[in-house]
Amino acid sequence: MSTSLRSYASSLAATVRSAVQDFPRQRLPLLCAAGVGLTAWASWMWWRRKRGERLELKQVGIVSQLLIYPIKSCRAVSVPEADCIGLGLRKGDLRDRHWLVVTEDGHMVTGRQEPRMVLISVSVQGDSLYLDGPGMKEKLLVPMSLPKSNKVRDCRVFGTDIQGRDCGEEASRWLTSYFQSGKPYYLVHFEADTMRPRKSKEKEKLFRETDVIAYPDASPIMLLSEASLEDLNKRLEEPVSLGNFRPCIVVSDCEAFSEDNWHDITVGTCRLKRVMACGRCILTTVSPDTGIMTRQEPLDTLRTFRKSDPTLSHLYKNSPLFGQYYGVEQTGKLRVGDPVYRVITKDQH
């Protein structure tokens, strides 16, 4: 075992020993569940070594934020820890982009069509989502578990069919009133236990058959570093925020754009495989503070220094690259403060 890998394993073991000593007795079952995750990680490492592969782990950063966007194009919920499952980040019943606003015929509505979507805040109250928007006299409570009698709507997300259970007339009235567009809008929920997810490959061909999503654009995980955002803001007259780019995992303690080269990483008990960069669109020009779309910055500035190699124009066209898309290689748990390790695989044969 390499020095860095041995250090990582020792650190995990020490954490578990300390937690056992300090953990309240009534919550020990939760610690046992965490132990199962560590056991799975150790088994996976043994299997890789049995195949003749030598793994080295190099720390490249630290998780500074974990962000879940329950409703596509609405504001994020910051969480201290999360499960990383095949469909992305999850914290209890709160799942990333598992709710979607649609028109009557089922077509998705995002901040591209309704920029003021980015101003809708989402929080959790008990087993319900709690929505608030500027100018709305009343807030909206949406149960995360819906009656099976609610209608299942056929939806379209980037030309792909997917279903969602209607969240009810009260949600529809609230959204229709908020947008004042003269046409009805509906909120739907993707139920992972009964509905078929979209395949990332149907949106971007570089993804694997196993990469699946509910309502995200293309990927279950999008990662961005604080340093990359800082580099961009040095080039702008008016700085932008993470809200313009909507990452799930934010990483600190690294150099700007170093995430471009993190092709294989492990964080917590998860392993993620980089698939491609995130090609940026007009949504980045919607201010998360005002809900106004400029159609210019930061997109114009990104195009001056973050264009793809011409050989990749068939993938990204004219879109500048900012942040990285990952597929979930191994599910697990991660938390703010976890080190991010780049996995270096060397064949021993």
Give the residue among 192, 225, 188, 209 at the shortest CA–CA distance from 108.
188
* Residue 244 maps to a domain: yes
The pLDDT, as a whole number, for residue 348 is: 41
pLDDT band at residue 20 using 50, 70 and 90 as cut-offs: very low
- For the chain, how far is it from start to end, CA to CA, in angstroms? 15
Q: What is the 3-state secondary structure (H, E, C) of the chain?
A: CCHHHHHHHHHHHHHHHHHHHHCCHHHHHHHHHHHHHHHHHHHHHHHHHHCCEEEEEEEEEEEEEEEECCECCCCCEEECEEEEECCEEEECCEECCCEEEECCCCEEECCCCCHHHHHCEEEEECCEEEEECCCCCCCEEEECCCCCCCCEEEEEECCEEEEEEECCHHHHHHHHHHHCCCCCCEEEECCCCCCCCEEHHHCCCCCCCCCEECCCCCCCEEEEEHHHHHHHHHCCCCCCCHHHCCCCEEEECCCCCHHHHCCEEEECCEEEEEEEEEECCHHHHECCCCCCECCCCCHHHHHHHCCCCHHHHHHHCCCCEEEEEEEEEECEEEECCCEEEEEEEEECC
Domain that holds residue 340: 62-67+200-347
Co-location of 185 and 222 in the same domain: no
Same domain, 219 and 100: no
The percent of residues in the chain predicted with pLDDT above 90, rounded, is 83
Model confidence pLDDT, tens digit, residues 98-136: 999 999 999 999 999 999 999 999 999 999 999 999 999
Confidence of residue 49 (pLDDT cuts 50, 70, 90): low
Model confidence pLDDT, tens digit, residues 75-87: 999 999 999 999 9
Q: Give the pLDDT score at 30.
A: 42
Domain count, the chain: 3
Identify whether residues 220 and 186 lie together within a single domain. Answer: no
pLDDT beyond 60 at 89: yes
Indicate if 153 and 273 belong to the same structural domain: no
Asked if residue 223 belongs to a domain, the reply is yes
**pLDDT at residue number 287:** 98
pLDDT at position 346:
77
Same-domain check for residues 115 and 214 = no
Distance, in Å, from the CA atom of 342 to the CA atom of 333, rounded to the nearest integer, reads 17
Task: Determine the pLDDT at residue 188.
Answer: 98
- Kindly list the distances between the CA atom of residue 59 and the CA atoms of 68, 127, 213, 256, 325, in Å, as whole numbers in the listed order: 24, 37, 28, 15, 19
Residues 222 and 275 placed together within one structural domain of the fold: yes
Average pLDDT, whole number, for the chain? 89
Do residues 223 and 305 both lie within one domain? yes
Boundary (domain end) residue, out of 199, 226, 242: 199
pLDDT attached to residue 25: 46
**Domain boundary, last residue among 135, 170, 199:** 199
pLDDT in tens, 142-190: 999 999 999 999 999 999 999 999 999 999 999 999 999 899 999 999 9
pLDDT class of 54 with cuts at 50, 70, 90:
confident
Is 56 part of a structural domain of the chain? no
* Shared-domain flag, residues 209 and 336: yes
Q: Are residues 296 and 190 in the same domain?
A: no
Give yes or no: residues 193 and 218 share one domain.
Answer: no
Claim to verify: residue 36 and residue 162 sit in the same structural domain: no
> Which of 11-25, 186-200, 215-229 is least confident?
11-25
Does the residue 250 lie in any domain? yes
Residue 57 lies in a domain: no
Same-domain pairing of 213 and 139: no
